[in-house]
């Protein structure tokens, strides 16, 4: 007697990424590649909670961020879901300060939550893959040079060949503004400049004029952000501006050092460039800033960004904790790459080999599968009683590359049929030679 059960329509919320298994395999491979690269630089893993005390998590937040936060209560607790991995890092470093070794290099790869209006390719739950290097009191500029090499190796390891890491220094911009008495407007000016990719140079000029109301000053800014040429030439033009502002000169010095040390890290010249228009809207960056673009898909926006900040955790501690870091928004990046056919998950598979019994006699099938697994090979079996045709169909759907077909006659001869599912080739192989044949 079956109970009649009322059905609920199974659905996933809009703005929440949920992948098919083949896509998930590819996604996980990318995630793992990022992780392994971060680990090559000695970054330590963290995995902070997704739920935090709202008062702690929102110590700094305000405005747009705060509106997007998932905040709720359970019992007496005022809770919030993390909206980035930087605030939890600030909390963590302040909280465990005495137990950590500085410079503290950590990576964290995890989901964060923002209740944005869902749009195509914009997610409310998405992965961020962050590295940060946190100093205790001070942090050498060499770390700013290491970051581009991390970006370079990460995207190289992900299989990308044509991308550009754009580097700038916020002090150069801030010093420039100070030299023309526009420090108080620097935040707004930076915000306008930051939009140059989107709105174009003319619109930037107009918006600046509206803000600054001084054509001469706007001209200086425009002249500055239009500095072009190779790295050498840009640095020379910056020198030639003869700006005496202290902050400007410090920024220029830092930028030169970063560019000098990048070479030691073996980042090829054609993978990075100085881009004086990059400011990163966020107000906590205080020095070097980075953005990364795929050369052929600049329209995707920056796929990896970050920068240097003076004070990671000023809302939690009096300790001065400068840092430098970057973040990859993997969920959005994955969507964009798939959407633009830059990656394709069609042939992704977990198991390279499937063992199949012709006559639903599973003893030999399981034995062979067990041996292969013991040899470190991922093996799929199929132990349902069904026709061989359907078993092959199953293997095909799972994109299995090698099929080991087990039948009575072959078993008697101590052999199996090994079929290459891509070329269609098949041959008889002795039991004891299976592993070697697969490993080849």
Q: Alpha-carbon distance 181 to 194, whole Å?
A: 20
Rounded-to-integer distance, Cα 283 and Cα 290, Å: 14
Enter the tokens of residue 174.
Answer: 């801030």
| Residue 215 beta carbon to its own copies: minimum distance, rounded to whole angstroms | 31
- Residue 286 in the binding site for its own copies (CB under 8 A): no
Nearer to its own copies, 358 or 377 (CB): 377
Positions in 147-166 near its own copies (CB under 8 A): 149, 153
Q: What is the 3-state secondary structure (H, E, C) of 244-259?
A: CCHHHHHHHHHHHHHH
86 lies in the binding site for its own copies (CB under 8 A):
no
**Binder among 247, 313, 324, 330 for its own copies (CB under 8 A):** 313
Q: What is the per-residue binding string for its own copies in 390-409, x denoting contact by CB under 8 A? A: ----x--xx-----------
Q: Does 384 bind its own copies (CB under 8 A)?
A: yes
For residues 91 and 205, which CB has a smaller minimum distance to its own copies in the complex?
A: 91
Q: Is 388 one of the binding residues for its own copies (CB under 8 A)?
A: no
DSSP string of 184-198?
GGHHHHHHHHTTHHH
- DSSP state letter for 11: -
Q: Does 431 interact with its own copies (rule: CB under 8 A)?
A: no
Binding to its own copies by residue 42, rule CB under 8 A? Answer: yes
Q: Quote the tokens at residue 53.
A: 């005390």
8 A C-beta contact, residue 34 and residue 154:
yes
Helices within 96-140 (DSSP H only): none
Residue of the chain from 82, 91, 170, 332 that contacts its own copies (CB under 8 A): 91
Q: Is 66 in the site for its own copies (CB under 8 A)?
A: no
Tokens 């970006």: give the residue: 151
- Report the residue number, 75 or 414, with the smaller CB distance to its own copies: 75
Q: Which residues contact 276 (CB under 8 A, 6 or more apart)?
A: 168, 172, 173, 224, 225, 227, 234, 238
Picking from 176, 16, 134, the residue whose alpha carbon sits closest to that of residue 81 is 16
Q: Based on the shown chain and the rule CB under 8 A, indicate whether residue 170 belongs to the binding site for its own copies.
A: no
* End-to-end CA, the chain: 54
Give the closest residue to 274 by CA, choosing from 164, 190, 195, 186. Answer: 164
Output the smallest distance, CB 384 to its own copies, in A. 5
Residue pair 163/295 in contact by the 8 Å Cβ criterion: yes
Give the count of beta carbons closer than 10 Å to the beta carbon of residue 398.
18
User: Which of these ranges, 143-151, 195-203, 204-212, 272-280, lies near its own copies under the rule CB under 8 A?
Assistant: 143-151
Instruction: Determine if 224 is a binding residue for its own copies (CB under 8 A).
Output: no
| Least Å from the CB of residue 296 to its own copies | 26
Nearest approach, Cβ of residue 297 and its own copies (Å): 25
**297 interacts with its own copies by CB under 8 A:** no
Q: Does 343 bind its own copies (CB under 8 A)?
A: no
* Among 73, 98, 119, 423, interactor with its own copies by CB under 8 A: 73
Q: How far is the CB of 389 from its own copies (least distance, A)?
A: 14
Q: Give the per-residue contact string, 182-221, with its own copies (x = CB under 8 A; - = no).
A: ----------------------------------------
Residue 42 backbone zone (phi > 0: left; psi -120 to 50: alpha; other: beta): left
Tell whether omega for the bond before 103 is within 30 degrees of 0, i.e. cis: yes
Give yes or no for residue 16 binding its own copies (CB under 8 A): yes
- Report the residue from 82, 105, 217, 419 that binds its own copies according to the rule CB under 8 A: 105
370 touches its own copies by CB under 8 A: yes
Q: Which of 85, 175, 128, 135 is nearest to 324 (CA)?
A: 135
- Using the rule CB under 8 A, give the single segment among 18-26, 202-210, 229-237, 418-426 that binds its own copies: 18-26
Of the candidate residues 33, 66, 84, 103, the single one contacting its own copies (CB under 8 A): 103
Does 27 help bind its own copies (rule: CB under 8 A)?
Answer: yes
Residue list 258-277, contact with its own copies (CB under 8 A)? 261, 264-266
Distance from C-alpha of 398 to C-alpha of 26, rounded to nearest angstrom = 14
């Amino acid at each position: 007697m079956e109970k009649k059960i009322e059905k609920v329509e199974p659905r996933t919320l809009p703005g929440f990424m949920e992948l098919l298994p083949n896509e998930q395999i590819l996604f996980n491979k990318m995630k793992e590649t990022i992780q392994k690269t971060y680990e090559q630089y000695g970054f330590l893993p963290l995995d902070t909670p997704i739920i935090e005390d709202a008062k702690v998590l929102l110590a700094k937040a305000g405005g747009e961020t705060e509106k997007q936060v998932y905040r709720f209560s359970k019992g007496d607790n005022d809770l919030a879901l993390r909206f980035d991995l930087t605030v939890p890092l600030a909390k963590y470093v302040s909280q465990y300060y005495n137990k950590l070794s500085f410079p503290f290099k950590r990576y964290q790869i995890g989901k964060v939550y923002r209740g944005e209006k869902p749009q195509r390719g914009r997610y409310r739950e998405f992965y961020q893959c962050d590295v940060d290097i946190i100093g205790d009191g001070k942090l050498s500029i060499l770390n700013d040079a290491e970051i581009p090499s991390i970006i370079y190796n990460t995207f190289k390891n992900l299989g990308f060949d044509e991308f550009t890491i754009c580097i700038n220094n916020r002090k150069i911009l801030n010093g420039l503004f100070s030299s023309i008495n526009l420090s108080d407007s620097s935040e707004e000016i930076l915000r306008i400049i930051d939009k140059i990719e989107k709105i174009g140079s003319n619109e930037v000029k107009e918006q600046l004029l509206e803000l600054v109301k001084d054509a001469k000053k706007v001209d200086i800014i425009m002249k500055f952000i239009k500095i072009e040429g190779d790295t050498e030439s840009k640095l020379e033009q910056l020198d030639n501006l003869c700006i005496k502002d202290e902050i400007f000169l410090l920024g220029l010095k830092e930028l030169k050092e970063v560019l000098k040390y990048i070479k030691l890290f073996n980042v090829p010249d054609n993978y990075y460039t100085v881009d004086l228009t990059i400011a990163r809207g966020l107000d906590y960056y205080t020095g070097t800033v980075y953005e990364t673009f795929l050369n052929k898909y600049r329209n995707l926006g920056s796929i990896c960004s970050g920068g240097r900040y003076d004070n990671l955790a000023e809302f939690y501690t009096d300790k001065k904790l400068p840092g430098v870091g970057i973040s990859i928004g993997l969920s959005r990046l994955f969507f964009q790459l798939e959407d633009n056919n830059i990656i394709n998950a069609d042939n992704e598979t977990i198991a390279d080999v499937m063992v199949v019994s012709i006559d639903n006699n599973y003893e030999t099938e399981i034995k062979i599968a067990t041996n292969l697994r013991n040899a470190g090979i991922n093996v799929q079996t199929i132990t349902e009683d069904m026709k061989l045709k359907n078993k092959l169909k199953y293997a095909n759907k799972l994109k299995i590359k090698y099929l080991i077909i087990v039948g009575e006659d072959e078993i008697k001869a101590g052999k199996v049929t090994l079929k290459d599912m891509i070329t269609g080739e098949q041959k008889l192989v002795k039991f004891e030679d299976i592993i070697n044949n697969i490993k080849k």
